[in-house]
Chain A
Amino acid sequence: MERDTEPMNLNDIEVDSVTKRFEDTVAVDNISMNVARGELFGLLGPNGAGKSTLTKMLCGMINPTSGIIKVGGYSIHKNPMKVKESLGVVPQDIVLYDYLNARENLAFFGRLYGLPGGKLKSRIEELLKFTQLDEKVAKRHISTYSGGMKRRVNIAAALLHEPQVILLDEPTAGLDPKNKLALWEIIRTLHKEGKTIMLTTHMMDEAEELCNQVAIMDKGKVIALGSPHQLIKKVKMENTITLVPDKITSKLIEAVKKISGVKRSYRAYNESEKIETLKIITKRAEDILPDIVSTILSVGTKILSVELSRVTLEDVFILLTGRSLREEEEQL
């Protein structure tokens, strides 16, 4: 079957003026973006930003209210089956049959993608090796696996048919640092193999670490699009002071905001260390640091650590929306 876009100009994902409404709610609001072949693209944003709705439209679970979506050069309207064949989708939750073992799960999903017997067998062996699941483990029911092992089989199930485009929805959510790094390694390997990957995440450090292009979504719109480097450059003129106080109160944030030279002050969350931090954006970090320290101490708060941080995608998000991702999650 002919592609709906010529291979010469192939973007593996094309989203053109796409809107999705659910009754009165606009979940995705007239967004456009392209993901070029071989790109590792991060789709960022807080819960409710419209990431999941966009992902569901990409894999054909729901149709857009308006606009055009193409995956692997095929339109989701005209060639939904071809789109499905081009895509490997790794859902956020572990979506496997817990009464089957890894091999049986992979065989089931392989058959759904029409893999013939011999090919299916060899792909299962390759993927068990790729996801570092040994023969003994592969024979056990999924219900006996650790979280990290389940995640790996969850990914393997999406790779059986060797899709060119892979959608990863929050692949490391809930994983400990060791398993998270192991999964990052898998994603990097897939990227090196030339796969086009769209990674949906609300963890800015993950996107920064892995992606070469990112789109930040908020309230159904794409509010920033570019490489992490380009986006960070937007807030380059600013410095960020990251403090770890023993407690962060609204009173403390307001008191810091009043200090001359402080452009913005907000509560943030360090995903890797699992601690709350107070971030202060300023152009004159060294000049006002003594004032900041004395102000914090004056409200009866102890300072556990202070550092001048590099600008992160989290800071970009805050600059663009005026809110932190953490605040967004707390509100939901």
Chain B
Amino acid sequence: MKLKRTVNQVFAIAKTDFLGIARNKTAIFFTLLFPLFFIIIIGFTFGTVGTGETNRIQVGAVNLDGTTIYVNGTVSHNSSIGDAFVQALKDVNFTVHEYAKYGDRDNNGTAAYDISRGQIKVAVVIPVNFTEALSYQYVDSLGVPIPTKAHLDLYTDPSDPTGSMIAQQSILGFISGFIEYYQESMISQIPESFQSYAKVLADPITVSTGEADIAGHPLRNIDFMVPSTLGLVLLWGGLNHASVSIATERTKGTFQRMIIAPVSPATVLVGKFISSLAIVYLSGAVMLISGVLLFQVNLYWNIPAIVLSVFLGALSAIGLGLIISSLAKNEEAANAITILISVPLQFFIGAFFPLSMMPEPAQIFGNVLPFTKLVTAMQSIMTKNLPFEAVMPEIIYMTISGLILFALGVIAYRLSLKRL
């Protein structure tokens, strides 16, 4: 009888709390529509990264090769190899902007100007003697060619290190291919018996690269990012809702009215936990389903493992939310503290950027967070299709941290009851 009454109380609290979200347009936006917008944004931003597409990369080609120079005392303005280089850039599908000079950031119409305004990510400067150097036009007094290297300059946009790095690596890869093509055409002009030696001398090491098959299909960035968003859902939905819910009710007085009823503190907490958990699952489902429907993300659906992992992660998020809610004087304070905590945290859980790209202290900090463990576990289960046993370390970590944070949340909540 008592158990039935407690269960009824728990569900009444959870339902009322949930309706507070469902009937509030702003709350609905942040709980359901914001995740949807977020997925759309990251899908369009990162959706094609990892597929080898180059047309997104904006390259500036400053081809000075046709400029008149003196070679061996005679005028030269040969630009055939420089032009071929630019054409090859276009042929491999880079988006190429052509310039007459590199210039400076204040000089409209030059490559530096467009880098400073984000129009191009990388500028390749082809020198005036590009063709002359590569076609052995520099000779000594006896007419013997003087070995002369052609030199390319690459300039990248320092305001966007990630985008610039991707663009620079792509261009370096292209140049490497261009050099190989050039070597082969030069070697083909020497006697055939020497050609194989010359090829080894010119290019003694060959490298082939390829992605390991860890998922059974080719992977894109978004295939990792969509399951990672479950970590963000914990921060946006679980932490945010748990921290603001009790504080809001305390400000409005409904919390006081609830606790003067014959309801135990544990009943109130379980009711609040269930509604926060429902919001996390709902918001997570929106993220995952929209990722699949809009961007054809390939995920593996080990539902029990996903549900359990999110539950354990939610223990930490909601526990932390309870601590904030209990410490905060009112709704505004709870909101401010939550934003102060959740906004920086979301950059350290590996959902936006891989932790490996961060400085060591940031990596250590990120690895301590239970939300990072959820991101890792979700990527392993949903993207890589690893078995549940493979994420046991993350599961154990989330269980322990969840229990600790939730217990601290309960203690803070009980202490806050004395302040009413």
In the complex, chain B residues whose CB is within 8 Å of the CB of A237: none
Q: How far is the CA of A60 from the CA of B253 in the complex (A)?
A: 15
Residue of A whose beta carbon sits closest to that of B6: A114
Known contacts A91-B257, A114-B9, A99 near B23 by CB under 8 Å: yes
Q: Among B8, B16, B261, which residue has the most Cβ atoms of chain A within 10 A? A: B261
In the complex, chain B residues whose CB is within 8 Å of the CB of A89: 257, 260
Known contacts A61-B260, A61-B420, A96 near B254 by CB under 8 Å: yes
Q: How far is the CA of A109 from the CA of B260 in the complex (A)?
A: 11
Chain A proximity of B24: nearest CB distance (Å): 6
CB of B257 within 8 A of CB of A114, answer no
CB of B261 within 8 A of CB of A113, answer yes
Cβ of B256 < 8 Å from any Cβ of A?
yes
Known contacts A95-B252, A99-B24, A114-B8, A109 near B257 by CB under 8 Å: yes
Q: How far is the CA of A85 from the CA of B253 in the complex (A)?
A: 19
Interface residue total, chain B, C-beta cutoff 8 A: 25
CB of B262 within 8 A of CB of A61, answer no
In the complex, chain B residues whose CB is within 8 Å of the CB of A303: none
Cβ of A316 < 8 Å from any Cβ of B?
no
Cβ of B263 < 8 Å from any Cβ of A?
yes
CB of B20 within 8 A of CB of A97, answer yes
In the complex, chain A residues whose CB is within 8 Å of the CB of B5: 114
Chain A proximity of B249: nearest CB distance (Å): 9
Q: How far is the CA of A113 from the CA of B6 in the complex (A)?
A: 10
Cβ of B179 < 8 Å from any Cβ of A?
no
CB of B420 within 8 A of CB of A95, answer no
Q: How far is the CA of A81 from the CA of B16 in the complex (A)?
A: 22
Q: How far is the CA of A84 from the CA of B418 in the complex (A)?
A: 17
Cβ of A3 < 8 Å from any Cβ of B?
no
User: Which positions 36-95 of chain A face chain B at CB distance < 8 Å?
Assistant: 56, 59-62, 81, 84-85, 87, 89, 91, 93, 95
Chain B proximity of A245: nearest CB distance (Å): 40
Cβ of A100 < 8 Å from any Cβ of B?
yes
Cβ of B392 < 8 Å from any Cβ of A?
no
CB of B420 within 8 A of CB of A62, answer yes
Cβ of B258 < 8 Å from any Cβ of A?
yes
Cβ of A112 < 8 Å from any Cβ of B?
yes
CB of B254 within 8 A of CB of A112, answer no
Known contacts A62-B420, A109-B257, A99 near B19 by CB under 8 Å: yes
Q: Which secondary structure characterizes the binding site on chain B?
A: helix
Cβ of A192 < 8 Å from any Cβ of B?
no
Contact partner of A114 (CB less than 8 A), chosen from B15, B254, B262, is: B262
Interface residue total, chain A, C-beta cutoff 8 A: 27
CB of A95 within 8 A of CB of B257, answer yes
In the complex, chain B residues whose CB is within 8 Å of the CB of A91: 253, 256-257
Encode B8-19 as 1/0 by CB contact (under 8 A) with A. 110111011001
CB of B261 within 8 A of CB of A112, answer yes
Known contacts A56-B420, A113-B262, A97 near B254 by CB under 8 Å: yes
Known contacts A61-B420, A97-B20, A99-B20, A111 near B253 by CB under 8 Å: no
User: Which positions 35-83 of chain B face chain A at CB distance < 8 Å?
Assistant: none
CB of B254 within 8 A of CB of A59, answer no
Q: How far is the CA of A113 from the CA of B260 in the complex (A)?
A: 10
CB of A95 within 8 A of CB of B256, answer yes
Contact partner of A60 (CB less than 8 A), chosen from B9, B20, B260, is: B260
Cβ of A184 < 8 Å from any Cβ of B?
no
CB of B256 within 8 A of CB of A61, answer yes
In the complex, chain B residues whose CB is within 8 Å of the CB of A269: none
Please name 8 further chain A to chain B contacts, defined as beta carbons within 8 Å, in addition to the given A93-B253, A107-B12, A113-B262, sorted by A numbering: A91-B257, A99-B19, A104-B16, A109-B261, A111-B9, A111-B11, A112-B263, A141-B23
Closest 5 pairs (CB-CB, A-B)? A111-B12, A112-B261, A95-B253, A84-B262, A114-B5
Q: Interface on A for B, CB 8 Å cutoff?
A: 56, 59-62, 81, 84-85, 87, 89, 91, 93, 95-97, 99-100, 104, 107-109, 111-114, 141, 157
What are some 6 contacts across the A-B interface (CB < 8 A)?
A: A91-B257, A97-B254, A111-B8, A112-B12, A112-B13, A112-B261
